[in-house]
Amino acid sequence: MRKVCLSIAGIFLTLFASFAQSSPKDSSQYQSRKLSFEEANLVTSYYKQDGNNSAVTGGTGSEKLTDISSAFEVKLTKWDKKFRKHNFDIEVGIDHYTSASSDKVDPNTISSASHADTRIYPSLNWSMENEKKGSTFGAGISLSSEFDYQSLGFNVMVAKKTNDRNGEFTAKAQVYLDRLKYILPVELRTPGSGGTGGGGDDEHDDYPSKSRNSYSGSLSYSQIINQRLQLMFIADLVYQKGYLGLPFHRVYLSNNSVVVENLPDTRLKIPLGFRANYFLGDKIVLRSFYRYYTDDWGLTAHTAQLEGSFKITPFFSVTPFYRYYTQTAVDYFAARGIHKTTEQFYTSNYDLSAFNSNFYGAGFRITPPKGVFGIQRLNMLELRYGHYTRTNGLKSDIVSLNLKFK
């Protein structure tokens, strides 16, 4: 893990050094069309959680998990002959997690492959903005890879500003083509199902795989009402098809037998959202968000969030936040030992149960004129902490650090 992180950091710093160098300005159009460095971001976080409703062990058992995440992002720009602005966003992310519950897929092993994993997810996005026409077109590609899951994503977007430039319509489409390894709990493995089930290092076992594809479309409209108020309306439509459960999620039926969670192979999701930002003078910004969600599995949810940004000095601000979330259970959820043998679909994954949650915390941001720690190009440092609680007992904490280079 350390070697991978250092390699990615080296690439990031090389790109930053290449494009961040100061050079004499040239008034010719050719010089203005050169690819130039816009900004770079380094975001890293540490997350931990605990609870007693692990889906791996049938809805009861430890949910202890830790995750260390880092993402490196570089933004580049150039102008073409028609004075259209091209934006390039290059990002490479790494997550490394350890999970006590995932290790129960095969409890006979000292440390199975599912106990810890590293996910790498690079992405490249491009957009072309025509400021004269007020239009933008963009496209992107993303990859994600870990031991038991690989994903390939594509996206396209178009945006058009209103004639007065105070409003903007945006349409976006995304496709994710996923493959996951069909890793069964050790006691349910049979010859040909993948995995020896014999307590060895299962990282080299030949597991079969299943597909999961997701297609989504998003429409949004943002509007500047006045100098203080900005609004945005968001409507999404998501359709998933393929294997939508996880093969190592156990379900204990009412007759005490154990099976693997079984869910429908299609799912239609409809989230509708609303954002409002209000600038209360020069030192206070209030940001609010509400989302309604429903799907054809029977789950409905509401999210409400409020965040404030309070500028203590011109270069130091504090950002407290609070988010409330509530959802109903899907039609196929039941606790351990409740599902009947006659049911077609069943899960004991408490992420699909009914619960309420609270997420709250605060952060601070500094933007000193001479750069953070006296480093001129390091123009912003932000540190945030959040605490999350669920009514079913799950608790988590996250600390994140964001460094911006200009």
Spatial distance between the Cα atoms of 237 and 165, rounded to a whole number of angstroms: 27
Higher pLDDT, 116 or 403: 403
Instruction: Report the pLDDT averaged over residues 316-340.
Output: 97
CA atoms within 13 A on the CB side of 385: 0
The residue type of 95 is D
Residue 12 CB burial class (10 angstroms; 0-12, 13-18, ≥19) = buried
What are the tokens at 110?
């000292």
The predicted-structure confidence for 92-146, as pLDDT tens digits, reads as follows 999 999 987 666 676 655 444 346 789 999 999 999 999 999 999 999 999 999 9
* pLDDT for the residue numbered 5: 42
Q: What is the mean pLDDT of residues 374-388?
A: 96
pTM of the model: 0.87
Least confident range of 2-16, 83-97, 310-324, 368-382: 2-16
Domain residue spans in the chain? 1-20+35-229+243-248
Residues whose CB is less than 8 angstroms from the CB of residue 394 and which lie 6 or more positions away in sequence, other chains included: 49, 50, 51, 53, 63, 350, 388
Lowest-pLDDT choice from 27-36, 53-62, 397-406? 27-36
* Residues 206-256 pLDDT 10s: 789 999 999 999 999 999 999 999 999 999 999 999 999 999 999 999 999
The mean pLDDT value for 343-348 works out to 97
Mean pLDDT of the chain: 89
Instruction: Give the pLDDT confidence score for residue 15 in this predicted structure.
Output: 44
The angle at the Cα of 176, spanning 171 to 291, to the nearest 5 degrees, equals: 50
* Higher per-residue confidence, 28 vs 310: 310
Alpha-helical regions (H) of 279-350: none
Provide the pLDDT confidence category of residue 181 given band limits of 50, 70 and 90. very high
Q: Report the C-alpha gap between 58 and 258 in whole angstroms.
A: 8
**Residue range 320-329: average pLDDT?**
98
